[in-house]
Amino acid sequence: MNLLITGGAGFIGSHVVRRFVQNYPNYHIYNLDALTYAGNLENLKDIEDFPNYHFIKGDIVDEPFINDLFVKIDFDGVIHLAAESHVDRSIEDPLAFVRTNVIGTVNLLNAAKKLWSNSYVKKRFYHVSTDEVYGSLGKEGLFTETSLYNPNSPYSASKASSDHFVRAYGETYGLPFGISNCSNNYGPYHFPEKLIPLFINNIIERKSLPVYGDGKYTRDWLFVEDHAMAIDLVFHKGKNHETYNIGGFNEWQNIDLVKLLCKVMDKKLNRREGESEKLIAYVKDRPGHDLRYAIDASKINKELGWKPSVTFEEGLERTVDWYLSNSEWLNHVTSGDYKEYYKKMYS
């Protein structure tokens, strides 16, 4: 099996690449990544010498490059994760999200359609997406696979668009596909622009913790290795032309999560109880901020037997431990451009 994984140097992608390289020694795993600010080969140091692992630097927006790649390598499957992934950045620069998330995805679909059309039965195009395409829930209810698409941010609009293109290539050209829509992930190698790693880094540095609005926004958190396990199952056993929702059954209001994180960090850093909580600062809200995301993951549970293996308390502690023992990684990703980004977004 020649398997193309796009975005494998990013947060979730690196966990997916690691899992496949380690668990499937007979597969050739090709990690295609443009190494944007979010892509980092340090995330894959432990597996880079495995004989079944191959890295290709390249941009999915580059159409001739993508076509050539599909001619050169007869891929049996694609797991597509490459994306611009941060809502706040999408508010600053929506076009970057259209380029990678929409045009990049369509380039991959076109190459697969062209090269695979005589052998569709043996192929699979798997698109990794987000629950944010469904928009916002009120206080009640859960997103299911049949919830209406109602994206509110340029990020979620671009992901919704890419989901629609994948489905359309399935319906129009018969391309075999799968899609999964997952809730917020957390864990090791998470770039510190997203809530949990940003706040871990700020607590270490005793910097303020910028909570948007009243902090009552709710997210459903899933440990990243459990997402990688779900992706493995959907890729191998998921039904053709189907969508699976993936979530942690684990809802937290931001402010409660931040207070728990402060408590865990105070203990780990031998600080006085309550010290980190003093860093909390309520700041201007994110425009178009979705109130609540929560996933009904019963379809993947019933059909494929998947459920999260890690409790939130366990996952959060493992995550904090990882950041505290990987200060070199953290220092590398928070130097240079990151400082400019932080100043622009938070000063």
28 touches ligand TYD (CB under 6 A): no
As a whole number of angstroms, the distance between CA 4 and CA 8 comes to: 9
342 touches ligand TYD (CB under 6 A): no
Which of 33, 59, 131, 251 is labelled catalytic?
131
Closest distance to ligand TYD from the beta carbon of 217 (Å): 4
Out of ligand NAD, ligand TYD, none, what residue 13 binds, judged by CB under 5 to 8 A for its kind, is: ligand NAD
155 is catalytic: yes
Which of 59, 84, 132, 220 is labelled catalytic?
132
First to last CA, the chain: 49
Three-state secondary-structure class, residue 99: helix
As a whole number of angstroms, the distance between CA 77 and CA 4 comes to: 6
194 touches ligand TYD (CB under 6 A): yes
In the beta sheet, which residues pair with residue 129?
181
Please give the C-alpha separations between residue 9 and each of 113, 187, 246, in angstroms, as whole numbers: 25, 15, 22
∠ Cα 63 115 49 (to 5°): 75
Starting from the edge strand earliest in sequence, which strands make up the sheet with 177-182, in order?
A: 53-57, 28-33, 2-6, 77-80, 124-130, 177-182, 242-246
Closest distance to ligand TYD from the beta carbon of 85 (Å): 8
156 touches ligand NAD (CB under 6 A): no
- Residue of the chain from 36, 52, 110, 301 that contacts ligand NAD (CB under 6 A): 36
- Residue of the chain from 136, 180, 184, 201 that contacts ligand TYD (CB under 6 A): 184
Tokens describing residue 144:
């299911």
- Total residues in contact with ligand TYD, by rule CB under 6 A: 12
Number of Cβ atoms within 10 Å of the Cβ of 32: 26
Closest distance to ligand TYD from the beta carbon of 238 (Å): 24
As a whole number of angstroms, the distance between CA 115 and CA 27 comes to: 20
Task: Compare residues 22 and 253 and give the one whose CB is closer to ligand TYD.
Answer: 253
224 touches ligand TYD (CB under 6 A): no
User: Which residues inside 44-103 make contact with ligand TYD, applying CB under 6 A?
Assistant: 87
254 touches ligand TYD (CB under 6 A): yes
11 touches ligand NAD (CB under 6 A): yes
CA 327 from centroid of its chain's CA atoms: 22
Number of Cβ atoms within 10 Å of the Cβ of 126: 22
Number of Cβ atoms within 10 Å of the Cβ of 21: 25
Closest distance to ligand NAD from the beta carbon of 40 (Å): 7
* Interacting residue ranges for ligand TYD, rule: CB under 6 A: 87, 184, 194-195, 198, 210-212, 217, 219, 254, 286
- Catalytic positions, written as ranges: 131-132, 155
* Interacting residue ranges for ligand NAD, rule: CB under 6 A: 6-7, 9-13, 33-36, 38-39, 59-61, 81-85, 100, 104, 128-130, 159, 182, 184-185, 191
